[in-house]
Amino acid sequence: MKGRRERWLDGKPSLLNTTTAQNHWRILWRVKDLKKVRNFAWRLARNSIPTESVRNRRNMADSSACQICNNAKDNWRHALIDCNMAKCVWCLVDEELVEHMIGIKSNDARVWLMELVDTLKEDEVVIVLVTLLAIWWARRKAIH
């Protein structure tokens, strides 16, 4: 895991096939008229959405606890999938899609996104990305 992250930070090809990764990004960039969604997916994959753990690591927050539920460390997975607020939104989406999405246990957002692109239809990927962005927007609005 550490080696994969170091390679990713250095901009070197990961252990994943480079052409496969390029195809995944090509699919994500094909999302028409949803520039905010594409930008959010890119930021999520680069671990740059400002969750409390990211903000804490950058000395911008005192704690890495979730400001919504105060129960867990606020990383991308907690904020967008595991937090009670996110779960309330995901219960409105197709159950099979949510079960598949939750079944991908990677803690690396980039690997998680690429696994989604590999295993879901393009329209299902769009549904997941739009829902993730909606959850993120609602969280930020509730916190601020």
pLDDT tens-place string over residues 75-98: 999 999 999 999 999 999 999 999
Residue 15 pLDDT exceeds 60: no
Instruction: Look at residue 97 in the predicted model and tell me its pLDDT.
Output: 93
Reading the block at residue 138, the tokens are 């609602």
Residue 63 φ/ψ, nearest 5 degrees: -140, 160
φ, ψ dihedrals at 73, nearest 5°: -70, 130
- The pair of structure tokens assigned to 127 is 């549904």
Q: Say what the pLDDT of residue 47 is.
A: 87
pLDDT in tens, 95-108: 999 999 999 988 89
d(CA 12, CA 96): 35
Q: Over the stretch 26-57, which tens digit does the pLDDT of each residue have?
A: 666 666 657 888 889 889 988 889 999 889 88
The residues near 17 (Cβ < 8 Å, ≥ 6 apart) are none
